């Protein structure tokens, strides 16, 4: 055969150039945000609102004196267990719901109600059932994270390309091969976006539990420093958890691209 008549468009800039450009814009976005924070703190808009640099120096102190490590040790335990359970359960049940109508009919009403309802309102109730220990916090994480993960996995699998499934069948792919080689990779982007939302919801769950159930961990750092009017320390704790959540969610995105969707590498 002759060579194809259509040619591939040559990229205007090399990938490395593009990536460094993207980095510049991203750093600029952070500088704008933190700059606004610094200015707002200096004005000041409230005596309870420290500047960015005050907050960062508090953060440094709290990391060095070990308060952060202690708080995170407390917070991470229920968070990791809760996210782990939600992910395992969410993916398995969500995929089953996507593959089988019966599982869909059983699961869909429950999880849609759970997703729509303000589950945070149930957290005080959790205390009645599970007390004030780690179990209650794990439950708080799970009830917030699991419905999102389940429903996204379900929709992702259900919306897997019928054309690709038929393609796999036409080459005599077995049911297992269709699921493993076509449906799961095709559903991966949406499953991962569910996972990211689920993990973000899990963070909400664990902090809510620490504010409402047992005052310890990062939630307690926030409450305590507010009560003694050490606002820089309070904001440092808030900043740390936001930063930690953002990094976790970002790492999930990296994992998705590396494991399932290599074609998106460099596309940013």
Partner 1 sequence: MAIAEQNTIPLAAPTFSDNNIVEVKGVSKFYEPDIQALLDINLGFPKGQMTTLLGPSGCGKTTLLKIIAGLLEPTEGDVFVNGQLVTGPGPERAFVFQDFALMPWATVLRNVSFGLELRGMAKDERYEIARRYITNVGLEGFGEKYPHELSGGMRQRVGLARAMAVDADVLMMDEPFSAVDEQTRRQFQEDLLNLLSIEKKTVLFVTHSIEEAVYVSDQIVLLSPRPGRINKTVRPDIDHAASSDEIRRGKNYLDSVEEIWHELKGYLE
Q: Which residues bind partner 1 (CB under 8 A)?
A: 1-8, 161, 163-164, 166-174, 177, 181-182, 185-186, 188, 260-263
| C-alpha–C-alpha distance, residues 228 and 198, integer Å | 33
* Closest to partner 1 by CB, 46 or 166: 166
* Closest to partner 1 by CB, 47 or 263: 263
C-alpha distances in angstroms, 71 versus 14, 101, 221?
A: 44, 44, 7
Please give the backbone phi and psi of residue 14, each rounded to the nearest 5 degrees, phi first.
Answer: -70, 155
| C-alpha–C-alpha distance, residues 150 and 238, integer Å | 28
Q: Least distance to partner 1 from the beta carbon of 164, Å?
A: 6
C-alpha distances in angstroms, 57 versus 51, 145, 232?
A: 10, 33, 8
Q: Least distance to partner 1 from the beta carbon of 20, Å?
A: 22
How many CA atoms are closer than 13 Å to the CA of 204, on its beta-carbon side? 15
* Closest to partner 1 by CB, 189 or 215: 189
Q: If we measure between CA atoms, which residue out of 206, 194, 216, 240 comes closest to residue 80?
A: 206
* Closest to partner 1 by CB, 21 or 161: 161
| C-alpha–C-alpha distance, residues 173 and 32, integer Å | 52
> Is there a contact between 108 and 168 (Cβ–Cβ < 8 Å)?
no
Q: Least distance to partner 1 from the beta carbon of 27, Å?
A: 29
* Closest to partner 1 by CB, 118 or 262: 262
Q: Least distance to partner 1 from the beta carbon of 87, Å?
A: 21
Q: Least distance to partner 1 from the beta carbon of 188, Å?
A: 8
C-alpha distances in angstroms, 246 versus 42, 93, 249?
A: 26, 26, 5
Q: Least distance to partner 1 from the beta carbon of 181, Å?
A: 7
* Closest to partner 1 by CB, 7 or 16: 7
């Amino acid at each position: 055969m002759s060579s194809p008549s259509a040619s591939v468009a040559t990229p205007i800039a090399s990938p490395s150039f593009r990536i460094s450009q993207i980095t510049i814009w991203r750093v600029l976005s952070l500088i704008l945000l933190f700059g606004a924070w610094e200015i707002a703190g200096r004005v000041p808009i409230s005596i309870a609102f420290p500047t960015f640099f005050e907050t960062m120096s508090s953060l440094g102190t709290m990391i060095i004196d070990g308060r952060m490590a202690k708080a995170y040790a407390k917070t991470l335990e229920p968070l990791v267990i809760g996210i782990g359970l939600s992910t395992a359960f969410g993916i398995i049940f969500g995929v089953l719901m996507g593959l089988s109508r019966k599982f869909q009919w059983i699961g869909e009403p429950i999880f849609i109600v759970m997703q729509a309802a303000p589950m945070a309102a149930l957290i005080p109730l959790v205390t009645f059932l599970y007390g004030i220990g780690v179990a209650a916090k794990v439950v708080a994480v799970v009830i917030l994270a699991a419905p999102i993960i389940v429903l996204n996995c379900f929709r992702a699998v259900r919306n897997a390309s019928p054309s690709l499934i038929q393609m796999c069948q036409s080459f005599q792919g077995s049911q297992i091969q269709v699921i493993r080689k076509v449906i799961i990779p095709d559903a991966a982007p949406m499953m991962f976006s569910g996972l990211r939302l689920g993990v973000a919801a899990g963070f909400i769950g664990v902090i809510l539990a620490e504010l409402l159930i047992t005052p310890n961990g990062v939630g307690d750092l926030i409450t305590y420093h507010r009560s003694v009017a050490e606002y820089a320390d309070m904001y440092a704790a808030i900043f740390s958890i936001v930063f930690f959540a953002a990094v976790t969610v970002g790492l999930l995105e990296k994992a998705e691209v590396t494991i399932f969707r290599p074609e998106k590498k460099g596309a940013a």
